[in-house]
Amino acid sequence: MRYFFKTIHLIDYKNIVPKTVIGLFIILILLIPVFTRNVVTLSTLIMTGIWAVAAMGFTLVLRTGQFSLGQSAFMALGGYASAILTAQMGLPFWPSFLVSGLVSGLIALLVGMVVLRVGGIYFSIITLALGEIVRIIALQWEPLTRGSRGIIASAPPPIILGGHELVNFNASLAPYFYFMICLVAVTGLVFWRIGESRLGRTFAGTALNPVLAEHQGIYLMKYRVIAFTVAGVFTGYAGALYTHFLQVITPMVFGLWQSIQIMIMSIVGGIGSLVGGPIVGSILLYNLGEYLSRLDTPGLQSFLFGSVVVIVVMFLPQGAGLVNLWERFWNKVVWREEEYEPDEPED
Amino acid sequence: MKKSFFSATILMITVMVIGMFSMCGTAVAEEPIIINVAIISPLSGPAGPWGQVGLDVYEAWLELFNKEGFRVNGKLYNFKNINYDSLNTPEGGAACAKRAIFEDKVKFIVGHWDTSFLAVSAISNPAKVILIARNGNEAVGGGAYNPEKMPYVVFGTPSHEKFLSDIKAIVAAYPNYKRIGISDSTLGKGVGWDYVDRDLTAAGIRFHHEWYPFGTQDYSPYITRFKEAGCDVIYGAGDVLAAMMITKQRWDMGLKYIKTGTAGGLLDPKMYIDVSGYDASQGFIAQHANPLDYKKTKVNPKFIKMFREVQDMVSKKQGKPFNYTAWTDWGCAHMQILAQAMMKAGSVDDPDKIMNAIRGGTFDTMAGKYTMSGAKTYGSPIVFGNPGCISIIKGNKEVYLSENPWKPIP
Amino acid sequence: MPPAEILIEGLTQSCIYMTMAFGMVLVFSILGILNWTHGQLFMLGAFIVFYSTTAAGIPFPIGILLAGLVMAGIGILIKKFIIDRIKGELYIGVATLALIFALEGAASLLFTSDDRGLAIILPGVLNLGVVAISYQKMAVIIFTLIVMTAMYFVLNHTKVGLAIRAVAQQPVAASLYGISTERLSLIVMGIGCALAAMAGAIMAPLYPINPFIGRTPMIMALLAIVIGGLGSLTGAIVGGLILGFLHSVIAYYISYLSEVVLFGLIILILLVRPQGLFGASAK
């Protein structure tokens, strides 16, 4: 698995995207619910954001050189935790939501402490088996999870401020949209900070050359477990939001195919960047899947989806995802243009 | 006096003439108003064939149904189906429901049967869209169904009761049975089975349950467990692949005396023979929804004629004989319930009025007369009067075996 | 002791997993990648034998060989036109995973997703009184024995086999001795895909055939090679045997809970012996 990282070079955002572009982009995204009230568009975007958070978690784990095939299990754990706490135990929504990610993170910590010392492809298979076990437990532990009937997780309660109803989740999808934006932003910020910090460089170091890293006095297990746990926490939140957005969770919602979906989004988007890559990947692939599911011919959708992913992977520059295309574009096209404009002052 | 009589006559004649003209006008130029109904079912993926088999049928059936249409408040209405691919996942189902309700402005969802029931109802209920589905495990008491929170859900196909009817029909056909084995995948586990167990025990039927993980290929452990429990019939409530493999594997294990079957319509006897083998699939029990064969259930002769025409139309379209009959009590019956409820309610767009008409009402459908139990069962408008008819494979044909009509609860 | 029928059925299952797993390990040891589309090649093999026997009237054994040949060709094409053009194991992994969707979609388009069967081949059951065994299951077991013997012979007594073993152990040294790693990897890819397709073809009479049948055997074969030890051919065989038998025997005692036990056991094996039962050492 560590060979993956020989070809990747990590992206430094500061050089490739000016702050004004990022700012404009964020404002545009925040204004989407003002422009459109279309339920289908908004819910597609919300789903995109949720999968983006899960893909970010996958990318973080991959940063330490570990290839997790059970990320959807953490979505299921977070979703079930939140659904059980609110629907089965009658606790209020917000504390339950906060706890859900912690539950998923705690399980990631425990599992990681036992499993991560194995590493490599064996870790992938153990996480695959873990995903199956979570699904089977959700199916069999009927008193808690209601088995295959699933739990109905109601929408978050309206937020009331000074006797005035500020936000109502039942009235429109805009609150969900901003909820999703908050989740993506918090996750992105945390992951970005991790990527920039000493911790992030240590992650990359452990992946690039585990032996060397170990000889430098880096305790590999510790960093792998940290990455796995942090990813587990945020993937759990993504699962909880998913559950409360669909308002239902059943054992069939998260499985191996969802883990594969997360993985494809993350890698096609580009693993050189912890935040940008997963977001780009999920925006492109989720919407592609959404568009394809409208096709009438059965089979054509999955054929096209698979072919598009294969073609994208084949024609991407060596060892890079879609975000790297942006970098290339910026460096080769945009920079050059600015060089020819001497009047523009540089900042 | 005379003058007033004269003017009154003229007035009457004018009114009559205008009335006649206006009637002629409507009769000649009346365009039916089209009501869209959404059909959300898996069209691709492993469950795809079961969604696809409905498409041609619904198309053909609606063509016949729309020739006559139905009248509400003197206006003529037609149904038009829009198909959505749910991919058999809650996420896919929810996406379809949103597309149907908010993009295509559909007010009714019919013929729903896949695993996305809860996700779809979470969207259709707040939007006041009537969802007609089957009552699976979700629906029975203690399941996820809640009559207060889901006021616009109708269980138009009582799969749960139908399963019990099947078992009773099997007992009627084979009175010397030893014990009936009921197999289902773990996906189907839930409180629904407590009700089945209670009702079967009350009816004095000997049975034994086994569950297998979904996607199992080797059923010999489960068949052996059935054998050791003394079963001589294994009736599957799960997927049809499992039923076909159980049929083949018990034959290969030398347990030829065990009869097998599945709670679902026979797609095409050829498929079962191809997969399980000719000898092994003889006597394979399945649900039979062919109104031509019913002996105890009465179906309106008009619908029997319609059934024949639909089978002919679909056979012609597909270029091969169309043998699947279990469509009669799905989407088409749901649309008939909807149309008759609209006529009764006198409204095509007020979901509350239509729901009031559905609750406790009796409807004439392709699969016999349905009585909606209203609040008497699980608080929901559940259908009763379903034929519960079973058939077996004999040679290369599907043959009527037995029948146990589900009686309305008094 | 569970009844003999369960053991026979378990052995039949094991045979399929073994053949699949063997091909996957072979590809892994030479190319260094896991071919995730193995299950879909299995499915296509079943379809080829279905159409060649029902539509073209080709005898079943020749149909199996045909399936193996055609899929070996397709495997080589996949290797040449997709895998070779992608750099990095990670991206190859994603491409083969995406091929799962593409091939399943293509099969649904070509053959529709209806279920089919081939139970007409070799019907009949041999009843020995104590135990009944169908001819189809015997065919699967005999076929697997033949394939395994042939593979043993090829690997140990031919030049190609020697080259394969050499490249698996020391790729650089082997190429120094004049072995074309490129050509060898094509051959191995062809053999691996042919094994998957033939496994699909031989089981076609036993199970339903639809575009989605490849998923379970692929996961089971993957688990088999991992508990057997990645890169170990003996491990693939033993892993396949363990999975096939265990699943059936555990299911006989505790019914549907066997799934939990099975996956728990796999995790346990990997935790106690991370390199798998026959793996040399953790990579």
Confidence of residue A82 (pLDDT cuts 50, 70, 90): very high
Least confident of A150-164, B162-176, C47-61, C164-178: A150-164
Residue A128 clears pLDDT 90, i.e. is over it: no
Residue B26 clears pLDDT 60, i.e. is over it: no
Q: What's the complex ipTM? A: 0.89
Chain-wide mean pLDDT for chain B?
Answer: 82
Average pLDDT of the residues in A112-128: 81
The answer to whether residue C283 is domain-embedded is no
pLDDT of residue A336: 52
C contact chains, 3+ CB pairs < 8 A: A, B
- What proportion of chain A, given as a percentage, has pLDDT over 90? 14
E-only strand ranges, chain A: 159-161, 164-167
Under 8 Å CB pairs connecting chains A and C tally to 144
Contact C90 A303 (CB under 8 A): no
Residue B401 clears pLDDT 70, i.e. is over it: yes
Confidence of residue A103 (pLDDT cuts 50, 70, 90): very high
Residue A48: in which H helix or E strand, if any? helix A39-63
Confidence of residue C71 (pLDDT cuts 50, 70, 90): very high
Chain-wide mean pLDDT for chain A?
Answer: 80
Residue B410 clears pLDDT 70, i.e. is over it: no
The more confidently predicted of residues C221 and A149 is C221
Interface test with A, best of B39, B53, B187 (most A CBs within 10 A): B187
| Strand B108-112 with B130-134, pairing | parallel
Average pLDDT of the residues in C257-282: 78
Least confident of B185-189, B268-272, C102-106: B185-189
The answer to whether residue C282 is domain-embedded is no
- Rounded to 10 degrees, the C-alpha dihedral B343/B344/B346/B348 comes to -50
Residue A344 clears pLDDT 50, i.e. is over it: no
Identity of the residue numbered B171: V
Note the maximum CA span of chain B: 101
d(CA C199, CA C39): 10
The secondary structure of A64-121, three-state, reads CCCCCCCHHHHHHHHHHHHHHHHHHCCCCHHHHHHHHHHHHHHHHHHHHHHHCCCCHH
d(CA B288, CA C90): 51
pLDDT of residue B157: 81
Average pLDDT of the residues in B207-236: 89
Specify whether the CB–CB gap between C5 and C240 falls below 8 A.
no
Residue B53 clears pLDDT 60, i.e. is over it: yes
Specify whether the CB–CB gap between C85 and A314 falls below 8 A.
yes
Confidence of residue B407 (pLDDT cuts 50, 70, 90): low
Average pLDDT of the residues in B72-86: 89
Residue B16 clears pLDDT 70, i.e. is over it: no
pLDDT of residue A2: 41
pLDDT of residue A6: 47
Tokens describing residue C144: 């697997």
Specify whether the CB–CB gap between A4 and C88 falls below 8 A.
yes
Contact A293 B48 (CB under 8 A): no
Chain A residues close to B118, C-beta within 8 Å: 150, 152, 247-248, 250
The number of helix segments (H) and strand segments (E) in chain B equals 13, 16
Contact B221 C115 (CB under 8 A): no
Average pLDDT of the residues in C1-5: 78
Give the CATH superfamily of B33-158+299-386: Response regulator (3.40.50.2300)
Give C161-180 pLDDT, tens digit per residue: 888 888 888 888 888 888 88
Residue B387: in which H helix or E strand, if any? none
Average pLDDT of the residues in A274-290: 85
Residue C49 clears pLDDT 90, i.e. is over it: yes
Residue C45 clears pLDDT 80, i.e. is over it: yes
| Number of structural domains chain C divides into | 1
Residue B171 clears pLDDT 70, i.e. is over it: yes
Under 8 Å CB pairs connecting chains A and B tally to 95
Give A161-200 pLDDT, tens digit per residue: 776 777 777 777 888 888 888 889 898 888 888 877 888 7
Interface test with C, best of B209, B252, B270 (most C CBs within 10 A): B252
A contact chains, 3+ CB pairs < 8 A: B, C
Pinpoint the alpha helices (H) of A13-38. Answer: 13-16, 19-30, 32-35
The whole-angstrom distance between A211's CA and the closest CA on chain C is 12
The answer to whether residue C280 is domain-embedded is no
The whole-angstrom distance between B102's CA and the closest CA on chain A is 6
pLDDT of residue A76: 92
Give C225-255 pLDDT, tens digit per residue: 888 887 788 888 888 988 888 888 888 888 8
Least confident of A312-321, B336-345, B371-380, C46-55: B371-380
Chain A residues within 8 Å of chain B (Cβ atoms): 38-40, 43-44, 47, 136, 139-140, 142, 146-152, 170, 246-248, 250-253, 290, 293-294, 296, 298-299, 301-302
Q: Domain limits of chain A?
A: 2-339
In which domain, by residue range, is C192 found? Answer: 4-272
Specify whether the CB–CB gap between A109 and A230 falls below 8 A.
no
Residue B408 clears pLDDT 60, i.e. is over it: no
SS3 B147: coil
Residue A233 clears pLDDT 90, i.e. is over it: yes
- What proportion of chain B, given as a percentage, has pLDDT over 70? 86
- Rounded to 10 degrees, the C-alpha dihedral A254/A255/A260/A261 comes to -30
Residue B385 clears pLDDT 80, i.e. is over it: no
Residue B254 clears pLDDT 60, i.e. is over it: yes
Strand partners, B76: B71
Residue B89 clears pLDDT 80, i.e. is over it: yes
Chain-wide mean pLDDT for chain C?
Answer: 87
d(CA C270, CA C275): 7
Average pLDDT of the residues in B366-388: 66
Chain B residues close to A250, C-beta within 8 Å: 90, 115, 118
Confidence of residue A340 (pLDDT cuts 50, 70, 90): very low
- Rounded to 10 degrees, the C-alpha dihedral B279/B285/B291/B296 comes to 120
Chain C residues close to A299, C-beta within 8 Å: 104-109, 112-113, 211
Q: Domain limits of chain B?
A: 1-30, 33-158+299-386, 161-294+391-403
Average pLDDT of the residues in A325-334: 63
Query: What is the length of chain A?
Result: 347
* CATH number of the domain encompassing residue C180: 1.10.3470
Tokens describing residue A31: 């204004």
∠ Cα C97 C99 C104 (to 5°): 110
Nearest to A288 by CA among A272, A254, A323, A312: A312
The more confidently predicted of residues B249 and A210 is B249
Residue B137 clears pLDDT 80, i.e. is over it: no
Average pLDDT of the residues in B35-51: 86
Q: What are the CA-CA distances from residue C242 to residues C143, C245, C263 (Å)?
A: 19, 5, 12
The more confidently predicted of residues A340 and B396 is B396
What is the CATH number that goes with domain B161-294+391-403? 3.40.50.2300
Q: Which fold has domain A2-339?
A: ABC transporter involved in vitamin B12 uptake, BtuC (1.10.3470)
Average pLDDT of the residues in B118-137: 85
Average pLDDT of the residues in C139-163: 91
Give B198-218 pLDDT, tens digit per residue: 888 888 889 998 888 888 888
Average pLDDT of the residues in B11-32: 59
pLDDT of residue C69: 94
pLDDT of residue C99: 92
